[in-house]
Amino acid sequence: MSTASTPKTPGKVERLIEERIQKAFNPEELKITNDSHLHRHHAPMQGVSSTETHFRVRIVSSAFAKKPMLMRHREIFRLLDDEMKRVGGIHALVLDTKTPEEVAAAAQKTHGSP
């Protein structure tokens, strides 16, 4: 199982996200990217000193099998509900949720047959 996050030391929120997702989905692959610096100048972000507001998360886990995307995303949102409701907490979450089979199938397609 590989876990990769942004090169800088992960902040408190990022570590919290990682911890909860690990526990809930026991992922084969988990990658968290902190995009907050890209959104710092947005109106809603002014006055918020937090640098952990926008994240991209990629999770590969068999826990997602047979669950439609809507359900997968909802589960993750529920997991992080308190952090998303907190002022200065998570403002945006871009999710990429796949099962190991789906990843393999996608790889086949791109490296597919002639």
Partner 1 sequence: MSTENQAGVNNTGEPKGATGSTSDNISVANQVPKNLNELKDDQVLRKMLEQKKQEVVLYFWAAWAQHCKQVDTVIQDLAKKYTKTEFFRIEAEKFEGVSEAYDISAVPTVIVAKKDKIIGRVDGVNIPKLVQQIADCRAATNGITKQPSAGSVPADLKQDLNTRLKECINRAKVMVFIKGTPAQPRCGFSRKIIGLLNENKIKYGYFDILTDEEVRQGLKEYSDWPTFPQLYIKGELVGGLDIVTEMIPTGELIEMVPKESILS
User: At its nearest, how many Å lie between partner 1 and the CB of residue 95?
Assistant: 6
* Token representation of residue 105: 């199938």
User: At its nearest, how many Å lie between partner 1 and the CB of residue 84?
Assistant: 5
19 or 81: CB nearest partner 1: 81
User: At its nearest, how many Å lie between partner 1 and the CB of residue 101?
Assistant: 15
Binding site residues, partner 1, CB under 8 A: 42-43, 69-70, 73-74, 77, 81, 84-85, 92-96
9 or 17: CB nearest partner 1: 17
9 or 41: CB nearest partner 1: 41
Looking up tokens 């509900």 gives 81
9 or 89: CB nearest partner 1: 89
User: At its nearest, how many Å lie between partner 1 and the CB of residue 9?
Assistant: 26
3-state secondary structure string across the chain: CEEEECCCCCCHHHHHHHHHHHHHHCCCEEEEEECHHHHCCCHHHCCCCCCCCEEEEEEECHHHCCCCHHHHHHHHHHHCHHHHHCCCCCCEEEEEEECHHHHHHHHHHHCCCC
